[in-house]
């Protein structure tokens, strides 16, 4: 069974990931913020991952088309960032699904 502490840790991790994806330098300000709307935060996190993937795809396409301003290293870094963001989002989703299953299997 997932405790409130674990749920709060997952929520905090999602806030930090969203802040990092947006380029917020002071993550501690995000950590101290409480009472955030969960669904809005989840949508923002998913949008941030999607934006990262879109940016990676755009860089890749520009490199393939021969854009001289795009370096192969930038393409590789953007691709890895997108991969890591998607993996992290998938792990958070898995933890949320597990928490939901734990709550639903609790006796009333």
Q: What is the pLDDT of residues 49-89, one digit of tens each?
A: 999 999 999 999 999 999 999 999 999 999 999 999 999 99
Q: Where are the domains of the chain?
A: 4-104
Q: What is the pLDDT of residue 36?
A: 56
Q: How many other CB atoms are found less than 10 A from the CB of residue 85?
A: 21
Q: What is the pLDDT of residue 62?
A: 95
As a whole number of angstroms, the distance between CA 95 and CA 2 comes to 9
Over the stretch 35-51, which tens digit does the pLDDT of each residue have? 457 778 888 888 999 99
As a whole number of angstroms, the distance between CA 10 and CA 92 comes to 7
Average pLDDT for 20-29: 61
Residue 59 neighbours by CB under 8 Å, 6+ apart: 70, 74, 75, 78
As a whole number of angstroms, the distance between CA 76 and CA 89 comes to 20
Q: State pTM to two decimals.
A: 0.61
Q: How many other CB atoms are found less than 10 A from the CB of residue 10?
A: 17
As a whole number of angstroms, the distance between CA 84 and CA 38 comes to 22
């Amino acid at each position: 069974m997932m405790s409130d502490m674990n749920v709060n840790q997952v929520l905090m991790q999602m806030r930090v990931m969203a802040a990092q994806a947006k380029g917020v330098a002071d993550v501690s300000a995000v950590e101290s913020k409480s009472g955030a709307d969960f669904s809005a935060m989840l949508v923002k996190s998913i949008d941030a991952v999607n934006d990262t993937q879109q940016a990676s795809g755009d860089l890749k396409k520009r490199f393939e088309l021969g854009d001289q301003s795009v370096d192969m290293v930038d393409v590789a870094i953007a691709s890895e960032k997108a991969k890591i963001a998607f993996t992290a989002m998938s792990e958070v989703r898995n933890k949320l699904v597990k928490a939901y299953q734990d709550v639903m299997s609790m006796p009333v």
